[in-house]
Amino acid sequence: MQAIVETLFDAVYLISVIAIGILMIRGSKGERQFRLFGWMAVVLGAGDSFHLVPRAVALCTTGLENYTVSLGMGKCITSLTMTVFYVLLYHVWRQRYTVSGRGSLTAAVYILAGVRIALCLMPQNRWLSVDAPLSWGIYRNIPFALLGLLVIVLFFRSAKEHEDKAFRWMWLTITLSFGFYIPVVLWADTIPLIGMLMIPKTCAYVWTVLIGYFAMKKETPFSA
């Protein structure tokens, strides 16, 4: 039952976010913020597929324990693409609220993203091992959490300042995604049931993508 339900859920998720991303890229009508948002959705779906597709295959065949290498590699790729996702989201913020300058802020975003990527690529993560160390799971997620927190604050302040109803809940979707993700990082290995939090985390990302899509539909005439 788990194999069927989880595989269907992941298939709907991946197809939906990638399709919405393509629609946004094609329907952006020269609006850079929505084109960026579309690429952001595609990066999200494509990156997650490297982990979710092998997981679905494992669940539907011989079990997760026989797919350690492909699952580990997929998890690594997903970690990298999620970092890119937040960098793109930062640039969506700059485009939407016509932010210029603020080089130190941009530098902070790229430094946090760079540190996160460097930590993800360290061999100590032992991505392809069945007993990957929890400590490195924590290390690589510290700059990621800081990057997420920075983006949360930026969208919260700007949406409130500009009375931006379309993006008023963007900060909340990101907060929820991290709120569901952090317990999985810390305790999923010892309490497997906590891994179920990845479902609401995924729903939070779908909400994020839909916020951008519906804003485009409303603000860009004749969009997809």
Q: Which of 166, 205, 209, 211 is nearest to 20 (CA)?
A: 209
60 pLDDT band, cuts 50/70/90, is confident
pLDDT tens for 112-136 read 999 999 999 999 999 999 888 999 9
Residue 224 has pLDDT above 60, yes or no: no
What domains sit in the chain, N to C, each tagged with a CATH number? 2-219 (1.20.1070.10)
- Mean pLDDT over 177-200 rounds to 87
82 — pLDDT class (breaks 50, 70, 90):
very high
| DSSP for 115-177, written as a single string | HHHHHHTSGGG-TTSTT--HHHHHHHHHHHHHHHHHHHHHHHHHHHHTT-STTTTHHHHHHHH
pLDDT digits (tens, 9 = 90+) for 156-173: 999 999 999 999 999 999
Largest Cα–Cα distance of the chain, in whole Å?
53
Q: The pTM is what?
A: 0.93
**What pLDDT is stored for residue 179 in this prediction?**
94
CB 166 within 8 A of CB 211: yes
